[in-house]
Structure 1
């Protein structure tokens, strides 16, 4: 995208208000408090509804900051490990991957785990008392956070699986509570019940590679495989660093890359819950005066936004998304759009690369909340145009739209071409993946 992008500041929902609105019963003798609750509920539905971006941010979630800061940097370390060493670590922590990790030209590395709602339900039951404890005993919360942090420092991968589950359970809780609030306004309990009936959600720890990571992946690590034990391969590292400045070595990479880490698409589940991303770049300097690419430290976003961009069909324009630090983002998927009969709007989105920060990588943790595979979809009362680029705006796009909107039109298969009456979620997801990627429709590279 050329020029200065338009930045969208999404609606912020404090976690304390999320707890209040999603409680089984909430009543207040104060007219002012009741009006405030009604106003917040209205804002949530506006943010997630057909005239909103399909996004909102949840702020002030207790205990989440330490888990996020401990877990996210492990994405890059896992991505750059020796493949055999990484395979063993993933096996030890019951993690898999849905990208071909042996491909050195990959732009994304993803590490996945199935998360159970039984664990999240226990988390939800216990978390209310934790909030109350936080208000009365801040020292206990500090002790809890420091204990997590210290455990993770002892051995950076030792608690990978448990941290994955802890943060995942927290994020599943957020999605369930949002589903409950939406159900009350839409009518029925279909969103929340659809999530619980699925029994599991999918968590992904994602590393979006910098151009420099691509250099490292093309230079095999030593047999020990860890980023910290590279002393015996110093010469290879310096060659990797020097090749950063060699245009001939990067010609093929530049020609094959685009300005996107992740292409335009809809998520086809109910909700996607995302951490705000962490940006990393090389921090240490070698004796030669060049940067040590293996060692990274956190950087602020160079443009002040998340590099998550959405397309707004109502405005026929693209917006970069911004969100408060350490917040969580709730994003509407196509299944929620279908189940709510268009009262929630799925978000057409992509992830862009920083244009002048080739050494910057991006770390994320994402939880995909989906219905059960045998959930049956009905198109009754649903306007399928609400979840795609509208048919009645195609002429406008061709005549006045930007290049990016015309390209999106070519890339994203419209919902009406993927959704048929009576389809199960399994059939819908298979057809969706097939139209995005071709082949059998089994999603292995997203």
Structure 2
């Protein structure tokens, strides 16, 4: 892990090549020199995922994954900018779902979810990526019903790329288990036999206004049966571009400690590993309409990250500060979740993180695909030899030497429920996830209004 010497505190995660991950997780005989080289890599992996590290690393040079990522991420804004009635129908017909209320036109994210089934054979999933031809993952930038047939392509890419990302997590679990001295992580993953894939569109201010225009038009159609023209709705949408009145603050939340707007508030993931693609940033533009009554379509232009990093932010307890993660091109980031922290008896550290949003351009959206690996729902947690108060103590103790960092830690932990309040001896993973979700997003949760 390297850091840039600038005020933003960029973090370059440790890079683990896919070929080395294959070697580390295999049982093939190796030369003495290769064993020594891989031992050094294993040490670096555990240092970065362990108690004094950031709790993440990047897997690089994964064959065939780049085109799959690019095609899948372009589906996210197309789905997100559908009227929620059309969107709900489309998701239901194709075995997809969402874990936020899509009827909420002020939502900051639109996630599209699918349960990904796997077993021991997942460790050969990288072969499927190479077998999937380029034509199988081509998708045009279209809006509305005209591209609905492409949903089968989305499912195909979702499943194949998701399986590959599961393989990355399972192989890393095997590497960690060999150091820890048991098979708890890998076995817990295979006992679950399922993971959750999440294709996420992080909204720009324009997106929410556009959705409101669509909803207004739908309501008008329902009430007036199309007697009058809808050209005013189209004109209203075009004004969004001309006036450029969208406000970052209108849809984002602000963390006073870091003076940054957030697409997603501070939290821990409660599974074993979270695997993320490199994000994509898109800027919308309106297509030309030939009929004054047509509602304009939204096209999207890919832009590089405004600041050159992923806008994923982590809190690094041992360094007492927030770091912005800069991912290598076409890499996959693997973060440690709380279940891995618990099952490894704190040999691995869960990653406290959030997703920031740039101030400029105001209408920039962020797309990402995430796979969450977790234990079986009936997996029982034992707290024997596990320091359950570790997370809380590290960020509230008196040993902070930097007052600004101490204030930052205290403000972040005001919205992150301590693990000790969510985890009890003998609790199943299902019970733990329910307690965690309730404290984060329940009626009294500090993130329930996201």
When normalised by structure 2's length, the TM-score is 0.84
How far apart, CA to CA, are the structure 2 residues paired with 1:412 and 1:348?
9
> Any unmatched runs of 5+ in structure 1?
132-140, 224-231
How far apart, CA to CA, are the structure 2 residues paired with 1:315 and 1:386?
15
Using the TM superposition, name which of 66-75 and 98-107 deviates more.
66-75
2:252 touches 2:263 (CA, 8 Å); kept in 1? no
Q: CA RMSD in A?
A: 2.9
Cα deviation code 1:359-395 (max 9, x no counterpart) = 1100111111011111111111112244345265257
How far apart, CA to CA, are the structure 2 residues paired with 1:382 and 1:101?
39
1:275 touches 1:366 (CA, 8 Å); kept in 2? yes
| Superposed counterparts of 1:163-178, under 5 Å | 163-178=157-172
Which of 330, 335, 343 is the equivalent residue of 1:331? Answer: 335
Q: Does the C-alpha gap of structure 1 residues 392 and 313 become closer, same or farther in structure 2, counting only changes over 3 Å? A: same
How far apart, CA to CA, are the structure 1 residues paired with 2:324 and 2:247?
29
Q: Does the C-alpha gap of structure 1 residues 252 and 313 become closer, same or farther in structure 2, counting only changes over 3 Å? A: closer
> Any unmatched runs of 5+ in structure 2?
1-5, 142-146, 219-228, 255-260, 290-295
Structure-2 residue corresponding to 1:238: 235
Q: Does the C-alpha gap of structure 1 residues 175 and 383 become closer, same or farther in structure 2, counting only changes over 3 Å? A: same
2:122 touches 2:166 (CA, 8 Å); kept in 1? no
What's the secondary structure of 1:329's corresponding residue? Answer: strand
What's the secondary structure of 1:341's corresponding residue? Answer: coil
The answer on 1:90 being equivalent to 2:87 is no
How far apart, CA to CA, are the structure 2 residues paired with 1:342 and 1:423?
17
How far apart, CA to CA, are the structure 2 residues paired with 1:402 and 1:357?
32
How far apart, CA to CA, are the structure 2 residues paired with 1:94 and 1:445?
27
Q: Does the C-alpha gap of structure 1 residues 394 and 207 become closer, same or farther in structure 2, counting only changes over 3 Å? A: farther
Structure-2 residue corresponding to 1:47: 48
Quote the offset at 1:144 in angstroms.
4.2
The answer on 1:12 being equivalent to 2:22 is no
Cα deviation code 1:19-51 (max 9, x no counterpart) = 11111x13323x322211101111111111111
Quote the offset at 1:238 in angstroms.
3.4
Quote the offset at 1:196 in angstroms.
0.8
2:264 touches 2:356 (CA, 8 Å); kept in 1? yes
Using the TM superposition, name which of 274-283 and 82-91 deviates more.
82-91
Which of 26, 29, 42 is the equivalent residue of 1:27? Answer: 29
Quote the offset at 1:257 in angstroms.
4.2
What's the secondary structure of 2:414's corresponding residue? Answer: helix
How far apart, CA to CA, are the structure 1 residues paired with 2:188 and 2:171?
13
Structure-2 residue corresponding to 1:191: 185
How far apart, CA to CA, are the structure 2 residues paired with 1:408 and 1:101?
28
How far apart, CA to CA, are the structure 1 residues paired with 2:243 and 2:253?
17
The answer on 1:111 being equivalent to 2:99 is no
How far apart, CA to CA, are the structure 2 residues paired with 1:207 and 1:28?
44
| Superposed counterparts of 1:96-175, under 5 Å | 96-118=97-119, 121-125=120-124, 127=126, 144-150=132-138, 155-175=149-169
What's the secondary structure of 1:72's corresponding residue? Answer: helix
1:271 touches 1:368 (CA, 8 Å); kept in 2? yes
The answer on 1:372 being equivalent to 2:373 is no
1:260 touches 1:350 (CA, 8 Å); kept in 2? yes
How far apart, CA to CA, are the structure 1 residues paired with 2:409 and 2:444?
28
The answer on 1:182 being equivalent to 2:176 is yes
Q: Does the C-alpha gap of structure 1 residues 172 and 5 become closer, same or farther in structure 2, counting only changes over 3 Å? A: same
Cα deviation code 1:217-265 (max 9, x no counterpart) = 1111666xxxxxxxx9664233223245659x76796387431000000
How far apart, CA to CA, are the structure 1 residues paired with 2:157 and 2:58?
22
What's the secondary structure of 1:203's corresponding residue? Answer: strand
What's the secondary structure of 2:319's corresponding residue? Answer: coil
Cα deviation code 1:143-181 (max 9, x no counterpart) = 843232347788432322222111111111111000000
